Structure 1
Amino acid sequence: MTRKLNATAASLLGFLHEGPLTGWDLVATAQQRIGDFWSLTQSQVYRELTAMAGAGLIEAGEPGPRDRRPYALTDAGRAAFAEWLEGDVAEEQTRFPLLLVVMFGRHVPSGRLAEVIATHRHIHAQRLALYEKQLTEEPVGEPDPYARATLDFGIRYERAVLGWFDELPAAIQGRN
């Protein structure tokens, strides 16, 4: 392989282990299964598919409905994915736009800041409720420990963020 896999490409190869998928299917799968903690845009997916096909990591199948082409993992793709899994795991990079607004909160009218805080608190409360619902809807039988660990992280993260919201100083929350 001529280039080192990035996490986005690796995630696509991971999904392709389950069978051939179109770019459209990969975008939808990524949004559903990892979208809450790893963002992928449609343009990133198609750019990575083109690069991975050029590197021989995947093969494009015959176009289907709406000219959508399924991609299948090659042996080289399996090897590249395994190599990526064996490599160092990069540190996470927190990008939380709300923290930028809070950081510069002295420049934001207090009513507006309180509104932004309330909106984001609501988003995180909804996300926690969704995760907790997913926990109760796990399939019968042995749960997937990998998906369960990821879901557990999401639940703990959302609880921590909600705790942070609840502990914000009254001035930030708009309760002078």
Structure 2
Amino acid sequence: MPTELRNCGLSTEDSLKFNTEPNFEQVRSAQSSYPTRTFQTTDAATIEIDLQQWSGENFKAVYGGGEIAEVTVASQPGVKHYKFSPPKIGGRTEVMAVVEVIDGGKHYRFVFPRCMQMEGVSGDLAKTKEAVLPLRLAVQGGDDLDAWYVLTDDPAFAPAA
């Protein structure tokens, strides 16, 4: 992985999801019971994963940015405490995300150059249940790059000769 990227740590085994959501418009004609033309109008993609490791950087990813500061607690002098403040309106940050999947000797990297956290965060802090950080990212597009792509060393992806 490039050094600019960081590992988010452990995640729940069943939470990683990548969804694409193309939208289509259909044209109907009097001469056919079926659409006579279909064209794609928009596209969207999302990534979901539940992070098991709590850290300042993971909080910032889950909440779309924010600030972390060291604070002093009067009742515990000499003990470091940290304060996380979520981003203000207009303060959300874009991130790049890479999901690496390894299947034996084959490697697949799903690359998302521009993502943004665009959902509310719902956390379950029950006494007898694991507390995870739900990372939900919406893929952003651009006119000069692919919204997402896969890099692989799998020979099954080689173009037909």
TM-score category, normalised to shorter length:
under 0.3
- Bigger fraction of residues in helix: 1
Instruction: Give the TM-score, by structure 2 length.
Output: 0.22
Richer in strand (by share): 2
TM-score computed with the length of structure 1 as normaliser: 0.20
